[in-house]
Amino acid sequence: MSTLLAPASVGPRRGIRSAGNCLALPEARWNSRFLKATRGEAVDRTPIWLMRQAGRYMQHYRGIRAGTSFLDLCKDPARATEVTVFAQEWLGVDAAIIFSDILVVLQALGMPLEFVGGEGPHLPQPIRGPSDVDALRDPLQAAADLDYVYQAIRQTSAALAPDIPLIGFCGAPFTLASYALEGGSSRQFAKTKAFMYREPDAWHRLSARLAATCAHYLNHQVAAGASCLQIFDSWVGNLTRDDFREFVAPHLATLVSHVVDGVPVILFGTNTGHLIDLIRDCGADVVGLDGTVELGDARDLLGTQVAVQGNLDPTLLFAPQDRLAAATRDVLAQNAGRPGHIFNLAHGVLKETDPEQARYLVELVHGG
């Protein structure tokens, strides 16, 4: 028997404009540029942070990572804090994101997980059939086991400047299910889709269990000091609109609806230009835009009730500074001064990136 959540209907989400009674946030953080933008309030400058802002492109990270495994670094709150805070301060970005990984949730649910040098994640015992879904651990217990993440969040939240919010995160049910079924990264998602189409009941049980685990996990992160949450549905862009509605939206909406009041939720996935209105309707406060849409068009489509985040192509950080500056100004011009824009890349910082270029981008955005 596992602890699941009451389902939510797909539709707009509860407000985030008041702090609710379970949120203890310093005033400077509540009134930060970044959190104001998530709420669609006016800001002095466009806030910016970068997905994967702490990572292998930074020498500081490589130094701390040397001699340990990636997962051991994630499980060491002091060093996870150091990596998170260094990246925020060195880049001068308006928010920090806690250093961790979306896949620690699958490990907590009982699936062995390893990161083999340079090749990305590997889950040697993937889900092969419906009985494997029912053998996963209970969501409440799994979320309680991730205490090392909550410790890292408590330490990081205390170490950051008072006006810098900390973003907590998790993977979305679809993206986590794809790793659980494929056993690692994938291009075609053949096993994921075969399971989804052929075992729809087990697919929905798996997604419901992932949603419940992530809801508890996110709320623990808020209790520890996260003041914004991003849900990564990195690979959901591989689905059609119809499949998104049937196999994904109910679980994503349930997950978002169980996040405590007052904490903005950013929903992000790659190749999702055709899905952004459906993603908004799962209750996003901020829709993360990838490179398959122009920001101006996305804002016209999504309307004024939701903020957006994005969406400079990460490879532009390889370009000469004048080209990078022109592309950055283009993204800002597409927003055309509308409130509720958080600048970011269209996906994470690539490991070949020159950190100075990332820092230059932050200056450009702050300079307007």
What's 48's DSSP letter? B
Binders in 220-279 for ligand CP3, by CB under 6 A? 232, 234
How many Cβ atoms sit within 10 Å of the Cβ of residue 196?
24
Is residue 174 near ligand CP3 by the rule CB under 6 A?
A: no
Determine which one of 39, 65, 137, 338 is catalytic.
65
Binders in 60-79 for ligand CP3, by CB under 6 A? 65, 70
What's 137's DSSP letter? P
Is residue 169 near ligand CP3 by the rule CB under 6 A?
A: yes
Question: Which listed residue (5, 54, 80, 211) binds ligand CP3 by CB under 6 A?
Answer: 54
Q: In whole angstroms, what is the distance from residue 58 CA to residue 99 CA? A: 14
Chain-centre distance of CA 295, in angstroms?
A: 19
Query: Residues for the chain: how many in total?
Result: 368
- Spatial contact of 118 and 197, defined as CB atoms under 8 Å apart: no
Is residue 195 near ligand CP3 by the rule CB under 6 A?
A: no
Is residue 56 near ligand CP3 by the rule CB under 6 A?
A: yes
Amino acid at 17: R
Determine which one of 14, 52, 245, 359 is catalytic.
52
Known active-site residue 57 = no
CB of residue 304 to ligand CP3, shortest distance in Å: 27
Binders in 288-317 for ligand CP3, by CB under 6 A? none
- Of all residues in the shown chain, the one whose CB is closest to ligand CP3 is 234
Pinpoint the alpha helices (H) of the chain.
27-30, 33-38, 59-65, 70-74, 77-91, 104-108, 130-134, 139-145, 147-159, 173-182, 190-198, 200-224, 241-243, 249-257, 276-280, 295-302, 321-335, 355-367
Q: Between 97 and 136, how does the x/- string for binding to ligand CP3 read (CB under 6 A)?
A: x-x-xxx-----------x----xx---------------
Is residue 86 near ligand CP3 by the rule CB under 6 A?
A: no
Is residue 51 near ligand CP3 by the rule CB under 6 A?
A: yes
Q: Which residues are catalytic?
A: 52, 56, 65, 101, 179
